[in-house]
Amino acid sequence: MPDVQALVNDFVFKLKRRKIEGSHASARQTAELLRSVVSSQRVPYTNQAAALIEAVKVVGEQLISANPVELAVGNIVRRVLHIIREEDLSSTAALMEGLNLSGASDDDNDKEEREDRPTLSAAAVAAAARSTLRAPSLHTLLEDIPESAVAPHPSSSGGESEGKSKSAEKSLKSRKLKHDVIEAINELIRDIDTCHEQISEQAVEHIHHNEVILTLGSSRTVMEFLCAAKEKKRSFRVFVAEGAPRYQGHALAKELVAKGIQTTVITDSAVFAMISRVNMVIVGAHAVMANGGVIAPVGLNMVALAAQRHAVPFVVIAGSHKLCPLYPHNPEALLNELKSPAELLDFGQFSDCMDFGTCGGLPLLHVVNPAFDYVPPKLVSLFITDTGGHNPSYMYRLIADYYSADDLVVQRRQVSGR
* pLDDT at res. 217: 87
* pLDDT at res. 332: 79
Q: Provide Rg for the chain, Cα atoms.
A: 27
pTM, rounded to two decimals: 0.81
CATH number of 202-336+371-417: 3.40.50.10470
* pLDDT at res. 28: 97
Q: Within 13 Å of residue 150, how many CA atoms lie on the same side as its CB?
A: 9
**Does residue 375 contact residue 301 with C-beta atoms inside 8 Å?**
yes
Distance (Å, whole) CA 362 – CA 345: 18
Show Cβ contacts of residue 162 under 8 Å, excluding neighbours closer than 6 positions: 152, 155
**Does residue 383 contact residue 390 with C-beta atoms inside 8 Å?**
yes
First-to-last C-alpha distance (Å) of the chain: 31
**Does residue 307 contact residue 299 with C-beta atoms inside 8 Å?**
no
* pLDDT at res. 235: 94
Distance (Å, whole) CA 114 – CA 101: 9
Name the helix (H) or strand (E) containing 3.
helix 2-16
Distance (Å, whole) CA 93 – CA 75: 27
* Residue 271 DSSP class: H
pLDDT tens digits, the chain, 418 residues: what are they? 458 999 999 999 999 999 998 999 999 999 999 999 999 998 887 788 999 999 999 999 999 999 999 999 999 999 999 999 999 998 888 777 776 666 655 555 555 554 555 554 444 445 444 444 444 444 444 444 444 444 444 444 555 555 555 555 555 555 689 999 999 999 999 999 999 999 999 999 999 999 999 999 899 999 999 999 999 999 999 999 999 999 999 999 999 999 999 999 999 999 999 999 999 999 999 999 999 999 999 999 999 999 999 999 999 999 999 999 999 988 878 888 899 888 888 877 776 676 655 556 677 778 899 999 999 999 999 999 999 999 999 999 999 999 999 999 886 655 444 3
Q: DSSP letters along 46-66, please?
A: SSHHHHHHHHHHHHHHHHHHH
* pLDDT at res. 165: 54
Q: List the chain domain ranges.
A: 2-195, 202-336+371-417
* pLDDT at res. 319: 96
By the 10 Å C-beta count (0-12 exposed, 13-18 middle, 19+ buried), 30 is classed as buried
3 state SS of 197: helix
* pLDDT at res. 308: 97
Rounded to the nearest angstrom, the gap between the alpha carbon of residue 183 and the centroid of all alpha carbons in its chain is: 18
Q: Among residues 86, 82, 103, 88, which one has the least CA distance to residue 138?
A: 88
